[in-house]
Amino acid sequence: MLSEKMQNALNSQINKEIYSSYLYLAMSMYFEAEDLAGAASWMRTQVLEEMSHADKFMSYVNERGGRVFLEAIEKPAVSWESPLDAFNGALDHERFISASINDLVSLAREEKDFMSDNFFQWFVAEQVEEEASVSEVIRMFKLAGGAGGGLLMIDRELGSRVFTPPATN
């Protein structure tokens, strides 16, 4: 059985994951408008990944006999100064999510809720990958100088990313 505090924290995390999905959808639409189809597609993959995170949290709350309450999702930004600016925004957001997952782990340990602690470890590892994959794109944009043929090459590379659903625990 989840404590009320843990259930609230999990519901808040579900909202953050759905917001992540919405934010990356907004970035995808920005890239579409900039004619960067590969970056748009990379972000669409990220949209699916974030919804899979939300789904994993929702399943967990239900498995533990808790109740999911869906709240309003904040409106994301609609445009960015450059592709690099958008990916920098994505990295800032992932760092914010990592901190939020760390807070969940702290709460689980405080409450001696070791089931939740164990469940959150998947997300701790996932955040390492999330931050690394966005950092890698930022590195590519910086190397290419943000324009011309280099930008087109990066866009093609980004378009090759495919969504792999996470294992169901």
Q: Which residues are near ligand OFO by CB under 6 A?
A: 17, 20, 50, 53, 94, 97, 130
Residue among 41 and 151 whose Cβ is closer to ligand OFO: 41
Q: Given the complex with ligand OFO, which of 6 and 51 has the nearer CB atom?
A: 51
Which residue's beta carbon is nearest to the bound ligand OFO? 20
Phi first, then psi: give them for residue 69, nearest 5 degrees: -120, 115
**Residue closer to ligand OFO (CB basis): 50 or 155:** 50
Cβ atoms 124, 101 nearer than 8 A: yes
3-state secondary structure of 111: coil
**Are residues 46 and 24 in contact, defined by beta-carbon separation less than 8 angstroms?**
yes
Smallest separation, CB 150 to ligand OFO (Å): 26
- Tell whether the torsion through CA atoms of 136, 155, 55 and 16 is positive or negative: positive
Is 89 in contact with 77 (CB distance < 8 Å)? yes
Of residues 58 and 97, the one with the C-beta less far from ligand OFO: 97
